[in-house]
């Protein structure tokens, strides 16, 4: 069966520090991968998605970037965090059909 791992679960970082959140998927190959941000108790905003290694599409302009160095690895990064980057970040995967997505447990990022 397929599983998705996301870490860390919680992160507190100072303003201006770098960021690296990692997501890996097991049990499938060539998945579509997604990074979302969620405001407290609200819907999900798609940040990046990837249909293959090295292929990244950005949905909104922001202080963040994404990379996919391996088929089942998706990384969310920033060189210098802003206060506004605080939030709940979710990674998700889907198969080639793309319509059903399965989510990781999320990372709570607090930028102070």
Partner 1 sequence: TQLLEQSPQFLSIQEGENLTVYCNSSSVFSSLQWYRQEPGEGPVLLVTVVTGGEVKKLKRLTFQFGDARKDSSLHITAAQPGDTGLYLCAGTSTDSWGKLQFGAGTQVVVTP
- Give the binding site for partner 1 (CB under 8 A): 6, 32, 41-46, 49, 51, 90, 92, 94, 97-106, 108
From the CB of 20, what's the least distance to partner 1, in Å?
Answer: 19
From the CB of 59, what's the least distance to partner 1, in Å?
Answer: 8
From the CB of 27, what's the least distance to partner 1, in Å?
Answer: 16
Q: Which is nearer to partner 1, 78 or 101 (CB)?
A: 101
First to last CA, the chain: 38
CB burial readout 4-33, b (16+ within 10 A) else e: bebeeeebebeeeeebebebbbeebeebbb
Q: Which is nearer to partner 1, 16 or 99 (CB)?
A: 99
From the CB of 49, what's the least distance to partner 1, in Å?
Answer: 6
**Which candidate, 62, 107, 106, places its Cα nearest to that of 80?**
62
**Which candidate, 107, 103, 26, places its Cα nearest to that of 72?**
26
Q: Which is nearer to partner 1, 51 or 56 (CB)?
A: 51
How far apart CA 51 and CA 29 sit, in angstroms, is 11
Q: Which is nearer to partner 1, 24 or 101 (CB)?
A: 101
């Amino acid at each position: 069966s397929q599983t998705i791992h996301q870490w860390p679960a919680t992160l507190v970082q100072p303003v201006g520090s770098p960021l690296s959140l990692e997501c890996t998927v097991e049990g499938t190959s060539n998945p579509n991968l997604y990074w979302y941000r969620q405001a407290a108790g609200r819907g999900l905003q798609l940040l990046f998605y990837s249909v293959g290694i090295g292929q990244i599409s950005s949905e909104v302009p922001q202080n963040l970037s994404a990379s996919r160095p391996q088929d089942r690895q998706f990384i969310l990064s920033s060189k210098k965090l802003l206060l506004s980057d605080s939030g709940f970040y979710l990674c998700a995967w889907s198969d080639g059909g793309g319509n059903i997505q399965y989510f990781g447990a999320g990372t709570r990022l607090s930028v102070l």
